């Protein structure tokens, strides 16, 4: 993977993680770095899943079906990580 590919993956991961965080209702107590990690993992898994199901196609623009799969996976990931990391905290 080239440096450009890594930077692109980080940017896409940040965007997908932020969108996934917006989809999950309530307030999530997690850092932006953790959101970015969840987003990168969701972007990679979403691409693989979209290709396996046949949603992802080679389009000249944005592949909206693949993006929806990535954001849904990011929302699930954010909910899981926020739920796991927030277990020790008391509600205010």
pLDDT of residue 56: 65
Give me the numbers of helices (H) and strands (E) for the chain, helices first please: 3, 0
pTM comes to: 0.72
Specify the pLDDT at position 88.
46
Please list the ranges in the chain whose pLDDT falls under 70. Answer: 1, 56-59, 86-92
38's CB contacts (< 8 A; 6+ apart) are 17, 20, 74, 77, 78, 81
């Amino acid at each position: 993977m080239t440096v450009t590919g890594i930077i692109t993956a980080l940017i896409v991961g940040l965007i997908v993680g932020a969108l996934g965080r917006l989809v999950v209702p309530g307030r999530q107590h997690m850092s932006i770095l953790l959101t970015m990690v969840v987003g990168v993992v969701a972007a990679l898994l979403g691409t693989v899943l979209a290709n396996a199901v046949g949603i992802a196609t080679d389009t000249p623009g944005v592949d909206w079906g693949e993006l929806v799969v990535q954001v849904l996976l990011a929302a699930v990931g954010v909910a899981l990580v926020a739920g796991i990391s927030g277990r020790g905290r008391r509600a205010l």
